[in-house]
Amino acid sequence: MADVPIDIAYISRLARISLTGEESSRFSAQFARLFDFIRELQALDVSGVHATAQVIPLSNVMREDELKPCLTQDEALANAPAREGPFFKAPRILE
């Protein structure tokens, strides 16, 4: 298995996903294969190719600055896991 230039524990913390030891090593192996693939891509000569962020050949899709109806406060909060008065309520921010 090639070196994995990525810290699984760090990535899972950023993604807020807790992994078991078994999952960590399984994902490490999968990441390693991904990195192998990326190494292959990096070996290709792409000097004539534009960086592609979009595969659909569209650009400048814009709308006029016009108002559309909003949801009501109760509609907006209907799916909230928790609300307090007019606000969405979430656990406090810092761990």
Partner 1 sequence: MSAALETVIGLEVHVELSTKSKMFCGCLNEFGADPNTHVCPVCLGMPGTLPVINKRAVEFLCKAGFALECTVAPFSKFDRKNYFYPDMPKNYQISQYDMPLTTGGRVVLPSGKAIRLNRIHLEEDTGKNVHAGGHMTTSEATLIDYNRAGVPLMEIVSEPEIGSPDEAEQYLMVLRDVMLYIGVSDVKMHEGSLRCDANVSIRPLGTKELGTKTEIKNMNSFKSVVAALEHEISRQHACVASGERIVQETRGWDEVRGLTYSMRSKEQAHDYRYFPDPDLPPLSLDEATLASWRSELPELPAQRRERFITQYGIPQYDANVLTQSRFDADYFEAVASASGDPKQASNWLMGDVRKSLEAHGLTLSTSKMTPAALGELISMVKGGAITGRAAKEVCDVLVAAGGDPKAIVEQRGLAQVSDESAIVAIVDKVIAAQAESVAAYKGGKAKALDFIVGQVMRESRGRANVDVVKRLLMERLG
Out of 41, 43, 44, 56, name the contact with partner 1 by CB under 8 A: 56
Question: Cβ distance 2 to 29 under 8 Å?
Answer: no
Site for partner 1 in 22-41 (CB under 8 A): none
For residue 87, state whether it binds partner 1 (rule: CB under 8 A). Answer: yes
Place of tokens 């909230």: 80
Q: How far apart are CA 55 and CA 53, in angstroms?
A: 7
Nearer to partner 1, 40 or 64 (CB): 64
Contacts of 39 (CB under 8 A, 6+ apart): 2
For residue 71, state whether it binds partner 1 (rule: CB under 8 A). Answer: yes
Q: Which SS3 state, helix, strand or coil, does residue 19 take?
A: coil
Q: How far is the CB of 38 from partner 1 (least distance, A)?
A: 14
Out of 4, 8, 32, 77, name the contact with partner 1 by CB under 8 A: 77
